[in-house]
Structure 1
Amino acid sequence: MCNDLRGPPGLSVVSTRWKFTQPDPGLVRQAEQEFSVPEIYARVLVHRGITSREMGIPFFNPDPAQLHDPFLLKDMEVAVDRVLEQIGAKRPILIFGDYDVDGTTGASLLYLFLKSIGARVSTYIPNRDTEGYGFSRGGVDYAALIGADLLITCDCGISALEQVERARDKGIDVIITDHHIPDTELPAAAAILNPKQADCAYPFEDLCGGGVAFKLALAVAEKGGYDPDLVWNHVDLVALGTAADLVPILDENRAIVNEGLRLIRERSRPGIAALWQVSGLAGKDVTVGRLVFGIAPKLNAAGRLGDAGRAVKLLTTDNRYLAVNMARVLVAENDRRRIIQENTVEEAIFQVNAHHDLSREKALVLSGEDWHQGVIGIVAARIRDLFHRPTVIIALENGVGKGSARSMAGFDLYEALTQCREHLLNYGGHAVAAGLSVNHEAL
């Protein structure tokens, strides 16, 4: 294993290049006067888009009443009618969730809510190693196997043209709930719920995947005449997904997270309580930071090194003894993930130092035959931070690479991948984080 952990000359992990944005001085003075605060606080407020007391109310006092109407999401009416039709006919529904925290918490929310209103509902979380990134053929085939002619995705599906067509061929309607950037061509789904899609009147684009699923659940409850508390009882899951996915905690995300934190403090579900306990957090206050750094990595470990469906089982069980046992397994998995991750980081740094000209190369694409797909996203973020370049880390196996990419403000990864799309098997994501698959010879 490489012992040379040096980055480029003059740089290291701790020598981060900070760039301070300069807010409008007039807006800063306005915020100083409006809130009677020192300039440094006023600058922070302006950076958050808050320059008046009216704008500050939802920020400082988030309230569920401030949430936007879910029916403002394009296709929501169609999606709700299709879900209610399925429930009324007592036909099965399959929830397909992505394997990260956002996907598994969103899938858990939909499962628990739909089950509480009498739906025949099951969940499916893909295997990262065998099925790869996003909505998979395996999920479609599983829906057909169990006779589910309605499949709802969570945190994925916006670029799954082939998979949705496969579902249609099998007589399965697909409702996509996603928050990733849509391409120009969309899947032929029964309904697409994504605040980022064109012609969508929804006023807030930064919901996480679980947040979009939450909106679907609220809309089903409203039109179906169900108690909205059947949805709000699971807002802790949405808060966890929102925090873990690092979407901006602004606008209605603040109300969602605030309510979720309150719910965890007052009556934490067995799965979250068990993770809190085995993570050494017993007796400590519930904060966003502790969710992100204390709880989320253990849930992610389920999908990084094995079956991500374990995360859904943990989050949906009402058996506290079982929850503690499952949480302990995930802690052990997370410890193993750390070891694999650090070894991969060392190998990636060696590749950069040995084979790349940093005076010429403005981005890094690194690959390894024995790299584990479950850690490449974290490794990409570490290499990006160390070398201050957009980074793609690719795990190669049997001639195919599964990659994870991380960037920084100023370089749009999704747009860059779109420009390379003819060389890729699949891709999707955001401006600063993306996933892809590629044939080895195309690298």
Structure 2
Amino acid sequence: MHFKWNYEPPTPERQKAAMELAEKINMSPILADLLIRRGIKTESAAKRFFRPMLNELIDPFLMNDMDMAVDRLNDAMGRKERIMVYGDYDVDGCTAVALVYKFLLQFYSNIEYYIPDRYEEGYGVSYKGIDHARENGVKLVIVLDCGIKAVEEIAYAKEHGIDFIICDHHVPDEVMPPAVAILNPKRHDSTYPFLHLSGCGVGFKFMQAFAKNNGIPFMRLIPLLDFCAVSIASDIVPVMGENRILAFHGLKQLNSNPSVGLKAIIEICSLTGRELTMSDIVFKIGPRINASGRMQSGKEAVELLVEKDLKRALEEASRIDRYNDQRKDVDKQMTEEANKIVSKLEEQKHLQSIILYDENWKKGVIGIVASRLTELYFRPTVVMTVSGGMATGSARSVSGFDIYEAIKSCSDLLENFGGHTYAAGLSMKKENIPAFRARFQQYVEEHIRPEQTQAIIDIEEEIDFKDITKKQHADLKKFAPHGPGNPKPFFCTKRVYDYGTSKVVGRSQEHIKLELVDCKSSNVMNGIAFGQSASARYIKSKRSFDIVYTIEENIYKRGDVQLQIEDIKPSEEEQTQE
């Protein structure tokens, strides 16, 4: 794939600011400019960025209703009421349930957890779940990563003497459920200074407040931070502000002393002994937790996450790993079918969005297929199937386009919907699909910008190979953890040449292993270009080319730097000559 390269050179003013900041923090001006791009312009802000401190976490009682939530939980414990911890079946929901359940279980035993069945109950608070609570004498439900739209369901629970505390981070409607407390930084009347917590993050803040109110040392919460890191990476929330603190210390916990369940997943993924990153969570750990809810039951994922015995955890992790293999097979088949449909629909080519419906597709995998199509065609995508007689869909978006608002514009055609800027879920009567398709596509065409439907790569700095030193790489590692709001930086180097030893590698000869030099130094840089073997002939022609890449550590040779090359283009002078 060839990207459109987007690069804005620093202004003279920013160059001067970068030089001044670089001197204060003992870093290269290149990296100081990366900080300035992230809104970090002072020495003290840089120190806070590189060394996020747990004592800088926001006071949880600044969140609306937090005092009421803590009071109701204290009352339930004091009266020995049965408590249910209820959560969504995805990674964020499962980690949130595991975190709250594990923490409270240290102080209170009359507690259980519940994850709804994706296929029988669907997303969010279900009547079946409430009836289960009634039958088991539950008086308080703590619902995590969902619930903000469950107005009727929570009213039904209230009629039967069951109170709800909602811990959610999805965008609420004007009318909110009749819960005892609603903890959600995205409330329209929110007073909380950070909007972008994950569902697990909201659960953590609730437990932080509960601990503070009851004189429980904060140290008791630290072992649960690995769940926060897994949720932040998997739910793709911004890794900035309070999330950066939680992710930074959560990764430390994951690397030094993970919970037994996560340790088992790490072993099953063959990640033991490696320094785990947010990418390892996104591509290895998260999908296995998700696979349980997609293919079977999310409750199995929570059972694993709260397990105390490593032997049993490894058995449970192996089962979940098999679910992940099954998920991959279904995902591959559905994506191929969806691609065939899109490629056949000539009329789709002029449209700015993709909407597909197939009654035979598996509900648990449509979100992944929507993501794949979005990545392939660079258009907001909705993939739907049938569940319980209704059309149920998952939507995914492209950079900068708010798909939640697009779906909200069609709310009169929907039975239910919810989500974020980049991912949402929805359900409707099957007969409403044609009207939804027309309305959604019209909204997208009126609101999407042309550049949002292109493959664009944002280059942060243009550098030469001489700039890539061991110190620079060590300093660059301090920018982690990465994610939205703090992406792994892309660098560009122009007029590089094959050193003479680059070669095509991989089972299908689809990758290129490179050894490169540029025209500014004699440094030979190693690189890998995945899936770009089409450029191999040009590279071996001894002509110059430009590259965009991230700077990585070679996992096989610790301490060695390797360029992970994202895109390759002939240099401008070579293009002119052609």
TM-score (norm 2): 0.72
Give the Cα separation in 2 of the matches to 1:78 and 1:275: 37
RMSD: 1.8
Describe the SS at the equivalent of 2:386. Answer: strand
Q: How many residues align?
A: 430
- Structure 2 residue corresponding to 1:124, chosen from 109, 114, 117: 114
1:431: how far off?
A: 1.1
Partner of 1:220: 210
* Alignment-mate amino acid for residue 377 of structure 2: F
Counterpart CA distance in 2 for 1:199 and 1:56 is 31
Query: 1:237·1:260 contact (CA, 8 Å) conserved in 2?
Result: yes
CA contact (8 A) 2:403 2:422 kept: yes
Q: What is the aligned partner in structure 1 of residue 227 from structure 2?
A: 237
Task: Identify the match of residue 340 of structure 1 among 330, 337, 345.
Answer: 330
SS of 2:169's partner is: coil
**What stretches of structure 2 of length at least 5 have no aligned partner?**
434-578
Written as runs of structure 1 = structure 2, the 5 A alignment for 1:36-75 is: 36=23, 37=27, 40-75=30-65
Q: Which amino acid aligns with 2:22?
A: F
Do the aligned residues in 1 keep the contact of 2:149 with 2:177 (CA within 8 Å)? Answer: yes
Per the TM alignment, residue 203 of structure 1 is displaced from its structure 2 partner at its CA by 1.0
- Counterpart contact for 2:223–2:258, Cα < 8 Å: no
Is residue 410 of structure 2 the alignment partner of residue 427 of structure 1?
Answer: no
Distance 1:174 1:356, change over 3 A: farther
1:268 to partner: Cα distance: 2.2
Amino acid at match of 1:107: V
Distance 1:26 1:193 in 2: 43
Aligned to 2:358: 368
> In 1, distance between residues paired with 2:42 and 2:404?
35
Higher strand proportion, which one? 2
Q: Which has the larger radius of gyration?
A: 2
* Aligned match of 1:84: 74
Query: Does the 8 Å contact 1:134/1:156 carry over to 2?
Result: yes
- Counterpart of 1:401 in structure 2: which amino acid? A
Kept in 2, the 8 Å contact 1:28–1:46? The answer is: no
Tell me how far apart the structure 1 counterparts of residues 311 and 422 of structure 2 sit (CA, whole Å).
Answer: 40
Letter in 2 for 1:279: C
- Bigger shift: 23-32 or 431-440? 23-32
Note if 1:99 corresponds to 2:89: yes
1:34 aligns with 2:21: yes
Q: Where does residue 194 of structure 1 map in the other structure? A: 184
Mapped contact 1:211–1:238 kept (Cα < 8 A): yes
1:283 aligns with 2:273: yes
Q: 1:155 to 1:55 in 2, by over 3 A?
A: same
Contact 2:22 2:28 (8 Å CA) reproduced? no
Q: Secondary structure at the match of 1:109?
A: helix
Q: Shift in Å at residue 35 of structure 1?
A: 2.6
- Counterpart code for 2:170: H
- Verify: 1:413 aligned to 2:423, yes or no: no
2: CA distance, partners of 1:76 / 1:28 = 45
Match of 1:172 among 162, 165, 175: 162
Distance in 2, Cα, partners of 1:233 & 1:171: 34
1:331 matches 2:318? no
Q: Distance in 2 between matches of 1:21 and 1:374?
A: 41
For the residues of structure 2 that align with 1:366 and 1:81, how far apart are their CA atoms?
47
Aligned-pair distance for 1:397? 4.0
Question: More deviation in 70-79 or 112-121?
Answer: 112-121
Paired with 1:322 and 1:403, the residues of 2 have a C-alpha distance of 35
Q: Normalized against structure 1, the TM-score is what? A: 0.93
| Structure 1, 14-23 or 293-302: larger mean CA deviation | 14-23
Distance 1:133 1:389, change over 3 A: same
CA contact (8 A) 2:89 2:290 kept: yes
Moved more, 33-42 or 311-320: 33-42
Matched, 1:209 2:199: yes
